């Protein structure tokens, strides 16, 4: 019964972020730990090249901006979907095995964080994000600096995030994230889809869309970057 309840909660947070047609993953926000130290998310979809559903889950140590030990799980399934079916079953099957890890790090599925920014479906990503947090009165400016390179018929790219933060009292700070030295093979471009404030209101999690190199239609996967406000 407990496992059924947890899977039902996971289903409530399974929201497909707006993206392009083709092999596009659905992003799942699984929530934060109460102290905002950890964030868990997943994604699932149908690998059009293989014709098979897949699912992935990730548990992030927000302070280190890295995955916890054994915090990445991936699985593809030897199943054929009928018309009208989606690949969410792949996510539920994988997530059931990851519940003990979520419990260990006190992930609260009812703490998805507070949405600060969202890129609306069909909107082109701006060169500079500028928005205000109406709860705290803080103003943000965010730039995503990315670089792509082609070699031997393939492509790889990297990115960094620069965030300028102005508090309600006028105090300004600048924070950087991402790692421009990490070149991810097969990624053509990055787009910031959402920015979420953790329960501590000091940790920001960026939901980043990876636009992948693929034959035919575009392929999309997701990753996150965690930043700590000063």
Q: Where are the domains of the chain?
A: 2-228
What pLDDT, on a 0 to 100 scale, did the predictor assign at position 123?
87
What pLDDT, on a 0 to 100 scale, did the predictor assign at position 19?
38
What pLDDT, on a 0 to 100 scale, did the predictor assign at position 22?
61
Instruction: Give the tens place of pLDDT for each residue, 157-211.
Output: 999 999 999 999 999 999 999 888 899 999 999 999 999 999 999 999 999 999 9
69 — phi, psi (to 5°)?
Answer: -60, 130
What pLDDT, on a 0 to 100 scale, did the predictor assign at position 79?
76
Write the burial class of residue 188 (CB in 10 Å: 0-12 exposed, 13-18 middle, 19+ buried).
middle
What pLDDT, on a 0 to 100 scale, did the predictor assign at position 216?
58
What pLDDT, on a 0 to 100 scale, did the predictor assign at position 151?
81
- The pTM of this model reads 0.87
What pLDDT, on a 0 to 100 scale, did the predictor assign at position 217?
64
Q: Which residues of the chain have pLDDT under 50?
A: 1-12, 14, 16, 18-21
Nearest residue to 98 (alpha-carbon basis) of 41, 45, 14, 46: 41
């Amino acid at each position: 019964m407990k496992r059924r309840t947890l899977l039902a909660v996971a289903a409530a947070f399974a929201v497909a972020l707006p993206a392009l047609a083709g092999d596009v993953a659905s992003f799942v926000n699984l929530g934060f730990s109460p102290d905002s130290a950890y964030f868990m998310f997943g994604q699932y979809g149908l690998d059009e090249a293989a014709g098979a559903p897949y699912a992935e889950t990730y548990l992030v140590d927000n302070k280190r901006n890295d995955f916890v030990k054994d915090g990445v799980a991936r699985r593809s399934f030897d199943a054929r979907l009928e018309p009208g079916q989606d690949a969410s079953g792949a996510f539920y099957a994988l997530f059931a095995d990851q519940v003990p890890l979520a419990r260990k790090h006190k992930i609260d599925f009812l703490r998805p964080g507070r949405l600060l920014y969202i890129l609306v479906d069909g909107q082109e990503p701006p060169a500079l994000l500028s928005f205000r947090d109406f709860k705290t009165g803080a103003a943000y400016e965010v730039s995503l600096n990315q670089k792509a390179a082609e070699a031997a018929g393939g492509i790889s790219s990297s990115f960094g995030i620069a965030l300028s933060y102005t508090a309600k009292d006028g105090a300004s700070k600048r924070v950087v994230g991402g790692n421009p030295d990490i070149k991810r093979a097969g990624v053509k471009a990055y787009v910031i889809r959402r920015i979420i404030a953790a329960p501590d209101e000091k940790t920001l999690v960026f939901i980043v869309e990876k636009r992948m190199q693929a034959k035919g239609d575009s392929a999309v996967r997701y990753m996150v970057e965690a930043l700590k406000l000063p």
